[in-house]
Structure 1
Amino acid sequence: MSAMATGLLGMGVLLILLVLRVPVAFAMFAVGFAGIWALNGLGAAMSLMASESFTLASSAELVVVPLFILMGNVASATGMSRALYDAAYALIGPVRGGLASATVIGCGGFAALSGSSVASALTMGKVSLTEMERFGYDPRLATGVVAAGGTLGILIPPSTGFVIYAILTQQSIGRLFLAGVLPGLMLLGLFILTVTILCWLRPELGPPGPRSSLRNLAVATGRAVPILGIILLTIGGIYGGIFSPVEAAAVGAALVVLAGALMGRLSLRILWEAGRDSIVTTATVMLILIAAHMINPFLALSHIPQAVGTFLAGLDMPALGVLALILLCYLVLGCFLEGFAMLVLTLPIFFPVILQLGIDPIWFGVLVVLTLEMGLISPPVGINIFIVKSVARQVPLEAIFAGVAPFWLAMLVALGLLLAFPQIALILPETMIR
């Protein structure tokens, strides 16, 4: 069997394993190890397994993953994420659809703590869905805004998606974090605009909430100041060249733990549980990365990336047309595959093409992560849809899918704006102090 045929067979087996719900890391590891064994011998497969596992496990850059995850877990457990939501609700809750818009802002704030879309959707779902139900919000809008708002966790830094992209493509984590700031804020604004338009067209979707007194507004805003200060310090420190991403993660995690302790909300039990959850999530990310470094050499040996690159180059399309075609592939794959699996499977194939076309890899990273976000609310997989369903058990699944549809279109608009104006993503990395 030729190397190309072996590679295609391996990819087919991998897709079957993913459809059968075999964990992503185990499926990729098994196919990568078996493929290298078939193409280059058992010794090469064993050597690669040992060397790549050690190299990744000892990578200092990956320390950002457990530290930022710990930061988000502690913030959630101590109620700091709730403070963000309460402050947003006190400011804009009284306007029509304001509670839904406050949920989007809360999701954006929590995304800047956890870097996890699933955690953002789950946490804000528990916080906001009950309130929206109490004030008579339509279940489609309520669940849709939580599912869509949760996707901000993979774009607004710190983002686990950016970390994995950086490791797989040898790009700067700090530059990617900065590149995600303005697109993330733009998408947050588009979500709020979507809520406003929906409630203007159909006022019954989001009735106004009670108006907060000046005292309650001041109290709610004051409670959110510590966590807002930590977010600005970590991201601003990276931008100003004060911290590296690893140092920013350490400072952010330490300050969240300190703030929780000073407010009397952090016990040893809460800290232990937050640390345990962080370790489990980190182990999952590490397994995926190790598996990625097993399957990438297999793809290289099979010559599939070169064949795809030759095919795309032969289409005689402009660079922007090839880029649009690649993003379309991501949108389609997002309907069936989990985001990290898509990154690991496709970057070894598409990234060399991007470099050959002269497309900025940082800009491409933001575009790819945004399309991964869209996959989080795309049927039939739509992980965030099922996360919200687990919180809002009384809402039919089809109603949640209907609720996220306008927000999916808003994300498509954001993708178009980023394609038309790359500087939205590139201006902060290009002005970053080196």
Structure 2
Amino acid sequence: MEWYEVGLGLLGLLMLLIGIGLPIPFALAAASLPFLWQIQTFETSLVSSQLKLWGVWIDYILLAVPLFVFLGELIGKSNIGPNLYQFLHQGFRLRGSAAYGSIGACAGFGAVCGSSMVGSLTIGGVALPEMLRLGYGKKLSSGVLAAGGTLSVLLPPSLILLFYGIVTDQSIGDLFIAGVIPGLILVTMFCIVVMIWGILRPDDIPAQEHAVRMGLFQIAATVGPIALIGLVITVAIYAGIATPTEAAAVAALLTVILAFGVGGLRWDGFRDAALSTMRTMGYLGLLLSAGTLFGFVLTYYRVPYEFTQFFLAFDLSPYVVLTIVLLFYILLGMFLEPVSMTFITLPTIFPLMAAAGFDLIWFGVVYTITMEIAVLTPPVGLNLYVIQGISRGQVTIGEVITGCLPFIAALVVLIFVLILIPETALWLPEQMK
């Protein structure tokens, strides 16, 4: 079979299976099998499929994924994450402190947890009722929390950057450090959005907020755990002391100790965190396994290579290629969640970006930002439904979507900044070397 027949056949069959309601991991595997049977007998394909799937489950690098997920769940089930929001809200006396505190808390949470949805759920569960009680506008309250959750997938450690590094065979440490400066810029831009919002729609931000200040012990118990966990992850990886997997293991153990010691975690919360991690990894594990099988079929038929050569034959400008790819991901992000997109499309797209002359570490950051946009765009924007769900009917999905629009614009501006000044992402990894 020709490569384009395989590529179009895989894509068409995959969309058909997803369209009839088959879960994405099973759709990926089912779409791959007919083409696998073209190159192997049925019996041989069963054995090779089992080997491919098992190879994913015992991959040492991938062990970092459940560890980071578990770490985030522990913080979410303890008081560490909610207390961080309370500290940032109550510790600074300025108009809009709850909105700025939400952004800061999401950024702090992102420094220890790589999941956008967990970030929105943890901080939003505390911040949204508080902001609505204080008199913040529904659109601003929901928008800032849905968008704030995306900071977790840009600031290290990031699950999306971790998956990107696995698929593209890039240094995970370099990818993590490359996200730091863009992540800090994005935090600043989100704060600017809130400030401008307050100027244009002053009724959405109360003039005064009545909140009790925290004591020194409470502040130490709030800021200390987040700072310590983030420091352990950062120093261990970037100083070469440990691999990302080892750093994740040490950080997870430290989080257990801190969550029980100062975070008010109880055994019920620990059990819930473990069960939530297993549920998440049950889905992610199947998705990773099916994605590996899908990628094997693509690679065997040389679809990524031939697609790259076909695209380059048009002699398009590298930035035209980049624009097409980004528009493709933004459109696709309206219908698929980021992890699925990573394993379905990235094996074909990243060779094209490398051939166009783009640094794959830099593209990893740009790619992650497009994934942030994906979780904020309907009809399948995960963060939109998380925030709408925790509002308990106080906020409509339309208000969440409208509230996210200025923050989506900030994400688009950040992409332009990275295109105009690539050193924004590349400078820090170069300095670390």
Which TM-score band (shorter chain)?
A: over 0.9
Residue 113 to residue 383, structure 1, CA distance change in 2 (3 Å): same
**Alpha-carbon offset, residue 302 of structure 1:** 4.2
C-alpha distance in structure 2 between counterparts of 1:283 and 1:319, whole Å: 39
Counterparts of 1:129 and 1:387 in 2: how far apart (Å)? 11
Aligned 8 A contact 1:48 1:294 in 2:
no
1:403 corresponding residue in structure 2: 403
What is the CA–CA distance in structure 1 between the aligned matches of 2:283 and 2:208, rounded to whole Å? 40
Gaps (5+ residues) in structure 2? none
Q: Within 1, Cα distance between the matches of 2:24 and 2:404?
A: 26
| 1:38 alignment partner, SS class | coil
Rate the CA distance shift 1:349–1:126 in 2: closer, same or farther, 3 A. same
Aligned partner letter, 2:172: I
Matches within 5 A, 1:26-425: 26-92=26-92, 94-210=93-209, 216=214, 218-222=216-220, 223-263=222-262, 265-392=264-391, 393-425=393-425
Q: TM-score, normalised by structure 1?
A: 0.93
**What is the CA–CA distance in structure 1 between the aligned matches of 2:45 and 2:359, rounded to whole Å?**
33
Specify whether residues 275 and 263 from structure 1 end up closer, same or farther in structure 2 by C-alpha distance, changes over 3 A only: same
Q: How big is the shift at 1:207?
A: 1.5
Q: Percent identity?
A: 35
Q: Contact 1:237 / 1:248 at 8 angstroms: preserved in 2?
A: yes
Whole-Å separation in 2 of the counterparts to 1:268 and 1:216: 27
Is the 2:125–2:390 contact (alpha carbons within 8 Å) kept by the matching residues of 1? yes
CA drift at 1:55: 1.6
How far apart are the structure 2 equivalents of 1:235 and 1:16? Answer: 43
Structure 1: unaligned runs, 5 residues or longer: none
CA deviation after TM superposition for structure 1 residue 127, in Å: 0.6
Residues 137-169 of structure 1, C-alpha deviations (whole Å, 9 max, x = no match): 100000111111111122211111112111111
RMSD of aligned alpha carbons: 2.0
Give the Å deviation of 1:261.
2.4
- Distance change (3 Å), C-alpha of 1:372 and 1:44: farther
Quick one: structure 1 residues 32 and 209, their matched pair in 2 at CA, closer, same or farther if it must change by over 3 Å?
Answer: farther
Structure 1 residues 394-423: Cα deviation after superposition (integer angstroms, max 9, x where no partner): 212111111100000000011111111122
Distance 2:48 2:88 in 1: 50
Aligned length: 431
Q: Which residue of 2 aligns with 1:10?
A: 10
The separation in 2 between residues aligned to 1:134 and 1:284, in whole angstroms, is 36
Question: Do 1:98 and 1:209's aligned partners in 2 also have CA atoms closer than 8 Å?
Answer: no
**Separation (CA, whole Å) in 1 of partners of 2:270 and 2:64:** 18
DSSP-derived class of the 1:89 partner: helix
When residues 218 and 212 of structure 1 are mapped into structure 2, their CA distance, relative to the original with a 3 A threshold, is farther
Q: Distance in 2 between matches of 1:2 and 1:234?
A: 46
Q: What per-residue deviation string (whole Å, max 9, x for no partner) do you get for residues 67-112 of structure 1? A: 11111111121110012111211233x3222211111111111222
C-alpha contact (below 8 Å) 1:355/1:361 kept by paired residues: yes
Give the TM-score normalised by structure 2: 0.94
Which residue identity is paired with 2:47?
S
